[in-house]
Structure 1
Amino acid sequence: MSDGLVARLSSAERKMDFPNLRPKDAATLLILDRQRNGDIKVLMGRRHERHKFMPGMFVFPGGRVDPQDSRVPVAASYHPQVAAKLAHEMKGPRSEARQRAFGVAAIRETFEEAGVFVARRAGDPWQGEGDFAAFSERGLALDLSPFRMVARAITPPRRPRRFDTRFLAVFADEIADRLPEGTGPSGELEEVDWLTLDAAKSLDLPTITLTIIEELQNRLSADPDLAPETAVPFYYWRRTGFIRELI
């Protein structure tokens, strides 16, 4: 199964004559809602047509990690085995602050794009800045302990934009609040909705998004609770195609 996923990613149509940019750190959040009939739904939205990058495609909430994300306080950090996966690097581990920044960025982007607060009730008052002011005003604190890593992928070289993305997941029980508009203040995503994983695969998706959904389905069949110790796939480009290894 994994060989087919690698082959499809490697053969996806792409223009590779741009300057070779260094990938920017990014984080994506898959919020999973377990249904009584056994189905899993995931929160997705359609990128606005005005976007130059992947216009009109359906994606999970997410985006690049901002420098300030590493300075946002969290009430609880990751499970140690999740932290170890996030620290994994081919050239040395990331700092603890940078590891936390992936989860913080995923929470921030999910609020900005989908209007969803992935948080818990704060034990002590705090003052959030920027988008996180909306969290502290509601008495919500950031809790990374329920987060699980499901994949990592680096955009191939010589693409117009390159990202080194950690795909994180939480179950919908971790949603503490939502904006009444049904979308986020950035307006980047439209048609935000809960979709079964099979239904999501029929949409206009980036190839990596389709790959992550299929990786997730395979994992859930054997690991329905997303145990923190489960190895996760890491996709990166080498020479003429993608490599898939487990971390």
Structure 2
Amino acid sequence: MSPDPVPVRPAATVLLLRDSEAGVEVFMLRRNRESAFVGGVYVFPGGKVDPSDREDPGLEEVCGGRDDASCSSALGLTSGGLAYWVAAVRECFEEAGVLLATRDDAFVSLADPTRAERFGGYRDLVYSGDLRLAELCRREGLRLALDRVGYLSHWITPVGPPRRFDTRFFVAAVPPDQVPLHDGGETVASEWIRPGEALRRHLAGEFDLILPTIRNLEDVARFETVDEVMADVAVRRDIRAITPRIVREGSGIRVIEPGRPGYDEAAARAPTEGSVNEVPRPGSVTPPD
């Protein structure tokens, strides 16, 4: 008998990027080990799409360069695509303190300590749900810089685990004069790191990552500059959802991606617990072609 259907919740994640002398770096957060979801793992800022990401009055009026029709088309949806972009911006602000918003076509600067403190207060209010992004933008004369957020990939948690997410991954350059930082609650550490270095540390058992994070790091690691990343994602079309499958191997799991040996057979052996969001042991991920 198959397990009861588990709701698949929409989610959005954003890779914040910057250029360095050594190449492209990505901002990563380490989740609190006490977290029910991927505790202790390094992740990108992100989370569930909230109702406010869809239903915030006047939302489209403060969205720069994109509307629901264009976002939905890019994501292969009939409607509701704007909410994913808005969620990516909101989660980036909540989890990293970086606001992807502009005034007069320039990113908002937080170099001034007084302004930085004010926006730190906004961050707390947005996180608590006491302030919505549209209202924040109206107060400060801002527009959400959705046209500067590129669509990277699409991952869906496999059947079996008690939590499933339909996650769209995005990329954006970190604005000048904004310094990302973990919140000290859900996330307890943060760092800028080259994608290749994050992958090497993961293989050495020093930097816990989950499969979607690994694959997105591999993708970004191919580029020399942030501009190259953004130019590449700008012309991507028909991005397909990737839904891995998982099988139990003793006390651990093996994650199998579409098109790999054992993928079809794994459908009949979906575990009722465990997830692609467990940290795979180095070598336990069946690689893509």
TM over 0.5: yes
TM-score, structure 1 length as denominator? Answer: 0.73
8 Å Cα contact 2:158/2:246 also seen in 1: no
8 Å Cα contact 1:120/1:176 also seen in 2: no
2:83 paired with 1:84:
no
Unaligned runs of 5+ in 2: 106-125, 202-206, 248-255, 260-289
Instruction: Choose between structure 1 and 2 for higher RCO, CA contacts under 8 A separated by at least 6 residues.
Output: 1
> 1:204 pairs with 200, 205, 208, which one?
208
How much does 1:34 deviate?
A: 1.6
8 Å Cα contact 1:77/1:100 also seen in 2: no
Against the structure 1 CA distance between its residues 131 and 178, is the aligned structure 2 distance closer, same or farther, given a 3 Å change threshold? farther
Determine the structure 2 residue equivalent to 1:6: none
Determine the structure 2 residue equivalent to 1:10: none
Determine the structure 2 residue equivalent to 1:234: 241
Identical residues among aligned pairs (%):
29
> 2:187 pairs with 189, 196, 208, which one?
189
> 2:41 pairs with 57, 60, 69, which one?
57
Unaligned runs of 5+ in 1: 1-16
Distance 1:210 1:78 in 2: 29
Which residue identity is paired with 1:183? H
Q: How many residue pairs are counted as aligned between the two chains?
A: 213
Which residue identity is paired with 1:163? F
8 Å Cα contact 1:78/1:147 also seen in 2: no
Which residue identity is paired with 1:105? A
RMSD value, Cα: 3.3
> 2:100 pairs with 115, 118, 136, which one?
118
Distance 2:66 2:3 in 1: 37
How much does 1:218 deviate?
A: 3.8
Distance 2:94 2:185 in 1: 8
8 Å Cα contact 1:150/1:216 also seen in 2: no
Deviations 1:207-238 (A, max 9, x none): 221111112334679x5433412244530257
Deviations 1:132-158 (A, max 9, x none): 355555443212111111100000011
How much does 1:83 deviate?
A: 4.9
Distance 2:140 2:18 in 1: 23
For the residue of structure 1 that corresponds to 2:232, the secondary structure is coil
How much does 1:167 deviate?
A: 0.1
Against the structure 1 CA distance between its residues 207 and 239, is the aligned structure 2 distance closer, same or farther, given a 3 Å change threshold? closer
Against the structure 1 CA distance between its residues 136 and 220, is the aligned structure 2 distance closer, same or farther, given a 3 Å change threshold? farther
Determine the structure 2 residue equivalent to 1:41: 25
> 2:258 pairs with 226, 243, 246, which one?
243
Determine the structure 1 residue equivalent to 2:162: 160
Against the structure 1 CA distance between its residues 237 and 197, is the aligned structure 2 distance closer, same or farther, given a 3 Å change threshold? closer
> 2:85 pairs with 74, 84, 103, which one?
103
Determine the structure 2 residue equivalent to 1:145: 147
TM-score, structure 2 length as denominator? Answer: 0.63
How much does 1:32 deviate?
A: 0.9
Distance 1:140 1:177 in 2: 15
Distance 2:219 2:71 in 1: 17
8 Å Cα contact 2:101/2:144 also seen in 1: yes
